[in-house]
Structure 1
Amino acid sequence: MGLVREFCAENMEHVPAAIAAGAARIELCDNLAKGGTSPSAGVVRAACAYGQEHGVDVMVMVRPRGGDFAYTADELAMMRDDIDVALDAGATGVVFGCERDGHLDTAATQVLLARVREVRPDAQVTFHMAFDKIRAGEQLAVIDWLAEHGVTRILTHGGPDGTAIADNVGRLREYVARAAGRIGILPGAGITWENAEQIASAVGVCEVHGTRIVRLAQ
C-alpha cells in the first residue's frame, strides 16, 4: 500500500480535484482561518456522498468554534450533535480534540468517544492538533491513553505552531515508537505534495496530512 495522503478540505470546493489528484482521504472542515471548525450538515452530506462514490474516506471535523480546546457542557452537546450528523451521513469517522491548560481533557474526550461508539461503533476517530498543546512531558502518556480508548490516529505537527516540520522529525519518531502500532501517528502542517514522501519516510509513517498534500490542477 502506498502513502495515504489526507487532504484537508474547507467545504466541498476542492474535494473533487483533490481526489482526482490522488487524495485517499479527506478531512472535511470549515473556517480554516480559525484552524478548522465543524462544516454544515449540507456540506457533510455532499462530501460523504462524493467520497463514497469515489471510494475515498471522509473524516469530519467536530469543533464548534475557533480558539482553545477547552469546551463547556453546552459546547460538548453541540459536538455530540455534530458527531450524529457526520456519522449519519456516512462519514468514515470524526476529528476532534479536547485539551485544557496543557493537559488532555479526559472527561470531555470520553463524552465524545462514548457518542461515537453509541452511534456507530466502527467509526474512526482522529484526535487533532489539540495534541500539540499538551505539555511535552505528558504527550507520550497521552498516546497510551488515546490508544487504550480506541482512538484511531493522532494528527500532530510534532512541535509548536510555526516550527518547521523537518525540525520535528525526531519528536514525531518518538511518537511513532511509543504508539507501537496501537494508534496511528498522522504528521501534518508544513507537509506538501513536494515533501510528503520524504517526511513520511523520515518519520516512519504511511499517512500524511495537509491542505497542499496533493498537487491540484491549476
Structure 2
Amino acid sequence: MTRSIALEIAVQDPAGVRIAAEVGAARVELASALALGGLTPSPATLELAIEAAGAQGPEVHVLIRPRAGGFHYSDDELLVAERDVRHAVAAGASGVVIGALDARGHLDLFAMARLRDAASGACVTLHRAIDVTEDPVATLRSARELGLRRILTSGGASTAIDGVDTLRALVAEAQGEIEIMAGSGVDAASAPVLAETGVDAIHFSAKRTLTDSGSVRMGSASDGVGGYEVTDREIAVAIRDAVAR
C-alpha cells in the first residue's frame, strides 16, 4: 500500500492559492514577504485567499510572524501575534503557523501556549523556529506536549535535503502523535528523497522572482533593483509529480 504524503505550498496571494488547488495540495501556508522568511499577511490578503480556496480547495493556514529576524519576541510583538492569531481564525483560516523562542533559544512554552490558546481549537503548526533550537528532537517533545498538530522543519539545516538524518529522527520520535512536515529549499529533485524519510507532508514554495530595474533605493535592503516573488505553476506541478512517482 502506497503511503499518502500531503503537499503544502507557501503562497503569498490568491493566485498562489488557486495554483495550489490546481495541483491538489492539501494546504497552503499563507504569508507575505517570503524573501524575508515570511511575515503575517494582511487581513485583505487572508480574506481573498480563503475566497480563492472555496469549499473544495486547500485549507488555508496563516503564518503568524510579526517581524523578520529571530523568534524571541517582546511583549508588544507577542500581543500583535496573539491578536493576529485571533483575527486569522475568526476570518475562517483552518489553522495558524507559529513559533516563539525564549532568551536561551529554547521553545518559549509560555508564549506558545498563549498563541495556541488564541487559536481556539484551530490547527496549530510549529514553524521552522525549531530548526534554530539546539536540540530539534527535544523541541519536538515540547511541541507534542503542547498539543500542537504538526511541525514544519528542515531537520535543523538550511535546506531540508541537508537535514534528512534529523528528519528521520524526528519522524521516529513523533510516533505518529504529531505530524512532521519537511520544508525549505524543496524542489523536484529533493522532494522524493524527503518523502522517503517517512515525513507526513512536504512543504514548498514553488516560487520564481519577477524583477525590474530602478535607480531609486526602496528601503535599507534594496540594491536599486525591484522584484517580487510569485507562485509558479510549472514548478508546483513538477514537485507534485516527483512526489507521486
1:216 corresponds to: 233
| Per-residue deviation, 1:144 | 1.5
Q: Post-superposition shift, 1:194?
A: 4.3
Partner deviation per Cα, 1:87-128 (whole Å, 9 max, x = no partner): 1111110001001332111111111112113xxx2x101100
- The residue identity in structure 1 corresponding to 2:97 is V
Instruction: Report if the CA contact (8 A) 1:155-1:186 is conserved.
Output: yes
Question: Which residue does the alignment assign to 1:174?
Answer: 169
- Aligned counterparts of 1:42 and 1:198: Cα–Cα separation in 2: 37
TM-score, length basis structure 2:
0.79
Structure 1 counterpart of 2:199, which letter?
A: V
Contact 1:58 1:92 (C-alpha < 8 Å) held by counterparts? yes
Equivalent AA in structure 1 for residue 133 of structure 2: I
* Equivalent AA in structure 2 for residue 205 of structure 1: V
Higher RCO by CA contacts (8 Å cutoff, separation 6 or greater): 1
1:128 partnered with 2:127? yes
Select the residue among 97, 100, 109 that pairs with 1:98: 100
Letter of the 1:66 counterpart: A
Identity, % of aligned positions: 36
Label 1:103 to 1:116 Cα distance change in 2 as closer, same or farther (>3 A): same
Structure 2 residue runs without a partner (length 5+): 208-230, 236-245
| 1:73 Cα deviation from its structure 2 partner | 1.1
- Name the aligned partner's letter for residue 167 of structure 1: D
Q: Unmatched 5+ residue regions in structure 1?
A: none
**Deviant stretches of 4+, over 6 Å:** none
- The equivalent of 2:8 in structure 1 is 6
Aligned to 2:43, which of 28, 41, 44?
41
TM-score in terms of structure 1 length: 0.88
Q: How far apart, CA to CA, are the structure 2 residues paired with 1:212 and 1:205? A: 19
Q: Which residue of 2 aligns with 1:189?
A: 184
For these two proteins, the number of residue pairs brought into alignment is 209
Which residue in the other structure is 1:29 paired with? 31
> Could you tell me which amino acid in structure 1 is paired with residue 23 of structure 2?
A
Distance 1:166 1:126 in 2: 21
